[in-house]
Amino acid sequence: MKISKINLYEVVVPAKKGTIESSEINKPLHKLSQGTEMGWSIQFDELSKILISIELANGVIGWGECYRGNTIMAVKQVAQKFVGMSIEKIIRQQLPIPYTRIYDGFECALWDCFARLKNVRVVDLLGGPVREKIKVGSWSSHRTTAEVGEIASNFAALGYDCIKFKTDLEDDVAGWATAIKRAAPDMKIIFDPNERWISSAEVKTRIDALKEIGNTLCIEDPISRWKIEEYAQIRSYSPIPIVLHVSLPYVDHGQRVHDTIRAIQHQAIDGFNFNCGFAHFQKLDHIATAAELPCWHGSEIDLGIMEAMYLHSCAAAHSCEWPSDIFGTLIRSHDLLKQSLRIEPPFAFLPEGIGLGVEPDLEAINEYLINKIEVAN
């Protein structure tokens, strides 16, 4: 069945007020360098997202979502390569396009489309689910010490038992952990410095304080990821699990599947945060499973289509045991779905129905739309 046309929708969906960081804080912990802007200047929710709908000659439509920061013209160039192709002849494990930050959006749409054509779920194409519900966590970027307890308590009231915080060297993470233990005694914490704890000495100082409090689930990317021998030293010292984030969409930053193997060979980590599309996530899951290490699915605080993609990947992954970063509905003002994903903290449920099992809300898409392009024969 041939692909007859592809529609591209460029949207900007802002975060809900107060969901990213404390109002008095303006740190670049979750800001991105973009274009000619200097440094870490653009907040993630200011960047557009591209939604992709692929329509077959018989009217079947599959949907995908690109990572933030792509231009619609760049996505259009890729779309032109697929129009007119037979979807049955496309090798879904390795699409005939370069691996860039656009790739996973088309992979998502093509897998959704093919699954709908065959009247099966995407998870069935991945071998079937090993679980129907996926552990998920809550999230915040930078907060003041006075505010973290309340933030954690509010998430605990919703049913969450894990919260992930962005942090840097200036933060009193032990103070945060103490405040959270008082306000939400059963809440576990993932600290994610995004490599900003600089050195093993700085990391060990924080580990010494956090281990006494006892509510840190793990520490993700404490130092630069290329310092793998230093990771091994930290891991041998730490009673708190150390995690490496392997985010393949950042392929231009040097992230590769082999990073996972290298970290295992050096006994440098206790688990992984994996972020990528269906085929690559399954490959990474197989590596982690063989090494008997857990993982979770990372994100870029995405919209509903991409989070549905994550749920299908997690459902088919044996190693996906820790709380995944599927919390877009906590942060974004809309998920652009007719019916939101079923999330009953601390779990999200595999969508029912064929394909991804979700339907985009075209009225909501038009509300946040800034550009649209149709690519056809």
- pTM of the entire structure? 0.95
Residues 109, 52 contacting (CB under 8 angstroms): yes
Distance CA 291, CA 319 (A): 10
CATH of domain 3-119+360-376: 3.30.390.10
Residues 53, 62 contacting (CB under 8 angstroms): yes
Fold of 133-349: TIM Barrel (3.20.20)
Q: Does 133-349 match 3-119+360-376 at the fold level?
A: no
Per-residue model confidence as pLDDT tens digits over 103-130: 999 999 999 999 999 999 999 999 999 9
Q: What is the pLDDT at residue 28?
A: 55
Mean pLDDT, rounded, of the chain = 94
Residues of the chain where predicted confidence (pLDDT) is lower than 50 = 29, 31-40
Q: What is the pLDDT at residue 42?
A: 73
Residues 276, 253 contacting (CB under 8 angstroms): no
Burial 235-254 (b: 16+ CB within 10 A, else e): beebebbbbbbbbbbbeeee
Distance CA 354, CA 344 (A): 22
Helix (H, G, I), strand (E, B) or coil at 334: coil
The tokens of 268 are what?
């440098």
For the chain, what are the domain ranges? 3-119+360-376, 133-349
